[in-house]
Amino acid sequence: MKWEENVRRVVPYTPGEQPQKAGIIKLNTNENPYGPAPGVARAIRDLDAESLRLYPAFPEETDLAKALAAYYHIGQDQIFIGVGSDDVLSMIFMTFFQSDKPIFFPDITYSFYDVWADVYRIPYETKALSADFLIRPEDYKQPNGGVVFPNPNAPTGEVMSLAMVEEIVKNNRDVVVVVDEAYIDFGGISALPLIEKYDNLLVVQTFSKSRCMAGMRIGYAMGQPRLIRYLNDVKYSVNSYTMNTAALALGVEAVRDEVYFKECCEKIMKTRERAEKELAGRGFVFPKSCANFIFASHKTVPAREIFEKLKQNDIYVRWWNKARIDNYLRITIGTDEQMEALYRALDKIV
């Protein structure tokens, strides 16, 4: 077809499966196995359908922005709120990566980065992780159009020290550096304090993992007001009303209940500690994880085989048919009961 010459062609990102069948143990997309804070359910009941008549408020003026600003001790003008961190990151790519020079990110990382680069026609170069899957700050010193990396990294789960993150930010003062902290609440140290010192740093977080609200789609970026203003200019040039009224109201409750949030993260970390022992005892090896998943390889049984057999047992984990990582499984930390079911199933496989 002639019109196809004018199509913006792209190979889309493939998320983990969302099976609609009941009874699946879903350890494949790093969702939190626990429900959101109790106040969220209350806010759903209290939501006035009549309020949906109006367009939503501007996110930066809402109670959600106030709650996040208070929680992180920053100004409301230092927060950009979006439809999950995927939306936030996509806006960041569109806004800040306009250079002719390639942006840098690790070769093994969140597999959405190269998709956004492709869709926005941003040149990029990947930097190989070390043999033990670590990001090496010295690889991010050459001239570039921007830098983005998750900390902890996905899907390896390995965390970088604050000093290492700062080294990357410090060595790249002429471009924007984005730290994707989707998993930071499971034991890592956030780079947030560095935003006061560096006007080129954006820290991105999400409600999808540690705040148990993947289905509500809330994410945010934090940085100096100048960065946030540029982001808002682009966002308001694409779609003014990305955040719906319900999400804005429910998100507040998740931020306010700090006790529930901390308990939830601690439960996951405890279950992870136990999982390390259980998996190691069954012949798995894995890098030290600071996230709500473990990236594990078995000493003798191929990852693909384990992946398929677990699936036959209604246990879903994630496996990529990709160089360097095709003998690894990314296993999300579920409840203790879900993990027990995983160990029982593994006993029949490995």
Q: Give 166's contacts (C-beta < 8 A, 6+ positions apart).
A: 191, 194
Return the residues of window 80-119 that contact ligand PLP according to CB under 6 A: 84-86, 110
Number of residues written out for the chain: 350
CA distance 196 to 321: 41
Strand pairing report for 124-127 and 201-206: unpaired
Structure tokens at 228: 């946030």
CA distance 200 to 223: 8
Of 60 and 86, the one with the shorter C-beta distance to ligand PLP is 86
| Residue 218 C-beta: closest distance to ligand PLP, Å | 7
Q: Which of 102, 150, 157, 188 binds ligand PLP (CB under 6 A)?
A: 150
CA distance 45 to 43: 5
Of 208 and 289, the one with the shorter C-beta distance to ligand PLP is 208
For ligand PLP, how many residues bind (rule: CB under 6 A)? 13
Q: Give 4's contacts (C-beta < 8 A, 6+ positions apart).
A: none
Helices (H), 37-127: 38-46, 63-72, 84-96, 113-119
Give ∠ CA 210-204-32 in degrees, rounded to 5. Answer: 15
In three-state secondary structure terms, 102 is coil
Strand pairing report for 315-316 and 103-106: unpaired
Closest-approach residue to ligand PLP (CB): 84
CB 46 within 8 A of CB 234: no
Of 207 and 346, the one with the shorter C-beta distance to ligand PLP is 207
Of 150 and 287, the one with the shorter C-beta distance to ligand PLP is 150
Of 25 and 291, the one with the shorter C-beta distance to ligand PLP is 291
| Residue 185 C-beta: closest distance to ligand PLP, Å | 12
How many CB atoms sit inside 10 A of residue 317's CB? 23
Q: Which of 25, 168, 182, 345 binds ligand PLP (CB under 6 A)?
A: 182
Of 206 and 289, the one with the shorter C-beta distance to ligand PLP is 206
Contact track, ligand PLP, 17-56, x by CB under 6 A: -------------x--------------------------
| Residue 188 in contact with ligand PLP, rule: CB under 6 A | no
| Residue 180 in contact with ligand PLP, rule: CB under 6 A | yes
Structure tokens at 219: 């994410």
| Residue 56 C-beta: closest distance to ligand PLP, Å | 18
Of 124 and 298, the one with the shorter C-beta distance to ligand PLP is 124
Return the residues of window 190-209 that contact ligand PLP according to CB under 6 A: 206, 208
Q: What is the binding site for ligand PLP (CB under 6 A)?
A: 30, 84-86, 110, 150, 154, 180, 182, 206, 208, 214, 219
